[in-house]
Copies of this chain bind each other. A is one copy, B any other.
């Protein structure tokens, strides 16, 4: 019996195309609307923010979209990423389930985020853009765009949620090492930031505010574009390399998952792993359960409303139909910063409405407990976001044991926790508690959803 079972895909098998779920859906997702006119947005509406290549990907219904060679070049630094079978964890759980995980923490910035950061930097560079503004919460996305910017010669400006900026100076130093500039948000560099500061001089910031600031900079500067690390169709598209590789690796293992699990904040690592399997379901009728693991403190899929909403707090973005807690909803300050977003990617939300996926909401202490168990048996310290996927996978494996029925579980280990050890310290010291959102605040945020007929 071998303990380390690693499925390594040869570099020659690095995907040549991304997979576009939109091509296989039984009905198209609802259109994105212009907040002023209520009409579907056209490519020109988005042109101040994104290069045309990305705008076309956003609305494409082609099943396969070619990955440009310079993007594959950079992917090759760490891709294909390994897929492991968690033999030691299986033994510790004494489960009849087979547990596999795809590990995206092998990228230099440490998560799945560079899969899209590299693509976005490339297309912007091709369009002649030399400056990009963006936002970051936990820091995984900012770090990844900083990395990609350095490789493609693009200046990156990151609006970092102030509470993270203050609490995570090491994340900031990491981005600065790649040459990016970090600005605590709300800042005095944008109209929206100044407006927030005037009302709340001590605002700790939020992802929604930081998005508004980054969008404003791009919308008002001719030479600057905007980049988003999740939610949008083109972002999810770029992440599908994860699932495409995983499918080949599961075939190497001579296995196929009964359940595919990923954590879900904005939805990008979830879509990345699962969309190719949802494609199998739709095209070939494969029987596979797809599970989104979200935080109980910010449960857009399990408690949100499926409605048109803004992507940001400043109401500058177009309106997208998604599972949302309301763009004014501010989740409690739990430790999986990458999952603290009020909405869920429209494509993921649409898949949920179509009954293609299910969702579970998990408490953070149970997730950290699962993360520590995983580290002690599999040797990798997971990011707090990824512990949600681990918790859901362990729960599924324990159910298999209870029911005495084996099954094959695949989950996405979306990143390592090297920059999140403060959260682990809190967990070990008993300072980390389960946090609940305020029901009244949620009701108010949902009541404030924009009216769209």
Partner-B contacts on A (CB < 8 A): 2-4, 6, 8, 11, 70, 73-74, 76-77, 84, 88, 106, 108, 110, 147, 150-151, 169-174, 176-179, 371-372, 375-377, 379-381, 417-419, 421-422, 424-425, 428
Contacts and interface: CB of A to CB of B under 8 A. Distances in A.
B419 A4 contact: no
Contact of A73 (B3, B147, B171): B3
B380 A74 contact: no
Contact of A176 (B11, B150, B428): B428
A8 B77 CA distance: 11
Contacts of A377: 150-151
B3 A177 contact: no
9 contacts: A4-B74, A6-B76, A6-B77, A8-B8, A77-B84, A108-B380, A150-B379, A151-B377, A177-B381
A13 to B, nearest CB: 12
Contacts of A418: 110, 174, 418-419
B174 A381 contact: yes
A170 B417 CA distance: 10
A103 to B, nearest CB: 10
Contacts of A428: 173, 176
A84 B11 CA distance: 14
B3 A74 contact: yes
Given A2-B73, A77-B6, A375 B177 contact: yes
A2 B178 CA distance: 21
B174 A421 contact: yes
B379 A147 contact: yes
A419 B381 CA distance: 13
Nearest to A424: B173
Contacts of A381: 108, 174, 177-178
Nearest to A382: B177
Given A170-B422, A174-B421, 15 more contacts: A3-B73, A3-B74, A4-B73, A74-B379, A77-B84, A147-B379, A151-B377, A169-B421, A170-B170, A172-B425, A173-B425, A173-B428, A177-B372, A177-B424, A178-B379
Contacts of A150: 375-377, 379
Contacts of A2: 73
A178 B376 contact: yes
A187 to B, nearest CB: 19
Contacts of A371: 177
A106 B108 contact: no
Q: Name the residue in A4, A84, A422, A424 with the highest tally of chain B Cβ atoms < 10 Å from its Cβ.
A: A4
A241 B163 CA distance: 44
A45 to B, nearest CB: 34
Nearest to A4: B76
Q: Name the residue in A3, A108, A421 with the highest tally of chain B Cβ atoms < 10 Å from its Cβ.
A: A421
A233 to B, nearest CB: 27
Contacts of A8: 8, 11
